[in-house]
Structure formats: C-alpha cells, structure tokens
Amino acid sequence: MPELCVGEQRWTVPNGSNLLDALNDAGLNVPYSCRAGSCHACLVQCLAGQPLDALPEALALDKHAQGWRLACQCRVVENLQVALFDPRQHGVMATVAALGWAGTVLRLQLRPERPVRYQAGQHVVLWLGGVARPYSLASLPGEDECLEFHIDCRHPGAFCDLARAVQVGDPVRLGELRGGALHYDPDWQARPLWLLAAGTGLAPLWGILREAMRQGHQGEIRLVHVAHDGAGHYLADALRKLQGVSVELVLAEHMDEALAGLRLPSRQTVALVCGAQARVERFARRLFIAGVPRGQVYADVFVGHA
C-alpha cells in the first residue's frame, strides 16, 4: 500500500484512495465545499510523488507545475509527500475594512495588504479562523477600493458562524482566485444581456453588470433577482438607481410565474445565471423554453455548506 507523508506524520492508505478523504481521515482537517474541483478550498502541494489527478486542467499550468493539486480530485497510487495549503504562508493577508447587514446577508469589504488582480465575476477562497470557503467577488476592479463579498448567513455553517462575529480590523486570508463561467465579453456590447440571480448569486452579477455599463453596453440589460423575502433583495435601492437597466425583484414563491413572462428580444441574447443549484436549473430550463441558445447561457452554481 502507498505511504502518505505530511510533515512528520506518515501512514499507509489503500491504493487508489481519494487524497482528500485520506488526509481528513488522518485528522488533518483539509477544508472542502464542493468535492467537484470548483471551490479550490482543498488545495494541497505534492512535494514528492504524483497522485492520479482527474482534473489537472482545473489549475493554472504554473501552479500545477509547482505540485499544487485539488485533493478531492486526486487518488493515491504511489508514495506521496504532501504539504497542506497554509493561508499564512500561501495566502494574501487582508483586513475587514467595512461590513454591513441587509437582513441575513453580510456585505463584507476586505482591504488586501497588496493589490489583487481580478475580473468581475471571479471568486476567491476566504480563510477565516482556519475555515475556508469560496465566495464570489461583488466588487468592480479599478473602481472599488476594497474587495466586496456578500455572505448569506440564513443557515448555520462553519464559515457563516465565524463571519457573523467579524469586526472591522479583523484579519481574513485570501486563498486561490478563480474565474468561473461568469464574465463580461466586450463583444456582447450590442446584444441583449439577461442577468438572473437567486439570493447572493447576485454578488458576481452586480460586478458584471457594472462592468458592462462601464464598457458602454448598448443592448438591452435585464436583471431578475429572486429572494426568499423582501429583505433578501438587499441591493434593491442600488439596482433601482441604475439607468437603462430593467430590474425585476421577485419573491421565490412567484419565481415560476415571473420566469414564464420572459420573452426573448433576440436570438443573440446572452444570459448569465447564478445561485444555488436548484434555482440555476430552473433558470436554465426557462431560458431554454424562452429560446436562448444553450451556448449563450453562462451559469455558476453556488456550492452548499460543507
């Protein structure tokens, strides 16, 4: 059986063992959220030996060459020496610059100790008190001084429980920065742009919306935000102030009725969708019925609480 080594700790595991499970079964508490290679919370570095990697393309070529792997996607097939991601060493230090509550949504603004290059729609792993979880950026590079995140604290969770207690000046570490499907392409300027969000799935679309307006988007912009209750429409005032944007604030109980009213202005329409999996699936189904080509629907699904 192959041997795993982390620091001074050594033990054998069955051949083909999932690396994340093997590490956590040994009490090393490697964080994870999705187990699908999307959240990047389970990042580890292989110092000697190579695991069988099911998703090598999930990491940038330079990080992969340095031995970084997503533990959830790897299987142990030979002796392996691993170093865990240490946010104090590998992450970027940031401090809480401002925070505010809108119902159960925490709007968290972080000031990193050094500039972070990012694009609207990307997400980053946040480390707080030894707990890691990915969150989408709601801020707009070049305009917002701080990095902003919208954290839904309706339900208990390891990260949310810590986030409820943060105060201005508290430290937060930034881990892996990633780009998902959500982005704004300047080639879309003349095309209708639909943005459909559920809950804090609005966060990345808020950044993308402002990026589209900054770039002088000429086509129709339509935004639909679904929330459990009125307080869940936490950006309602800011959205209503935008010129040239059609905004629909929909309660979850009326979601199907509102989506049934979608009428495609053009086959060139581009749709960006974000939220929990069930909501995203309902959005995608209605967009298909409305006639939006599948290749023009870009979706990002929020992972559940681990």
Are the C-beta atoms of 184 and 121 separated by less than 8 Å? Answer: yes
Query: Which parts of 219-254 fold into alpha helices (H)?
Result: 236-240
Which of 149, 147, 67 lies closest to 100, judged by CA?
Answer: 149
In the CATH scheme, what architecture does the domain 3-85 have?
Answer: Roll (3.10)
Are the C-beta atoms of 10 and 4 separated by less than 8 Å? Answer: yes
What secondary structure letter does DSSP report for 57?
G
* Dihedral sign from CA coordinates of 109, 198, 279, 301: negative
Are the C-beta atoms of 154 and 182 separated by less than 8 Å? Answer: no
Class of domain 186-302: alpha beta
Domain boundaries defined on the chain: 3-85, 91-178, 186-302
Are the C-beta atoms of 57 and 37 separated by less than 8 Å? Answer: no
pTM for the full predicted model: 0.86
CATH of 91-178, one of 3.30.420.480, 1.10.600.10, 2.40.30.10, 3.40.50.2300: 2.40.30.10
Q: Which helix (H) or strand (E) holds 285?
A: helix 277-290
Q: What is the pLDDT along the chain (306 residues), one digit of tens a residue?
A: 999 999 999 999 999 999 999 999 999 989 887 888 888 889 999 999 999 999 999 888 888 999 999 999 999 999 999 999 888 888 899 999 999 999 899 999 999 999 999 999 999 999 998 888 999 999 999 999 999 999 999 988 889 999 999 999 999 999 988 887 999 999 999 999 999 999 999 999 999 999 999 999 999 999 999 999 999 999 999 999 999 999 999 999 999 999 999 999 999 999 999 999 999 999 999 999 999 999 999 999 987 554
Question: Where does residue 40 fall: left (phi above 0), alpha (psi -120 to 50 degrees), or beta otherwise?
Answer: left
Are the C-beta atoms of 276 and 255 separated by less than 8 Å? Answer: no
Rounded Cα distance, 174 and 85, in Å: 12
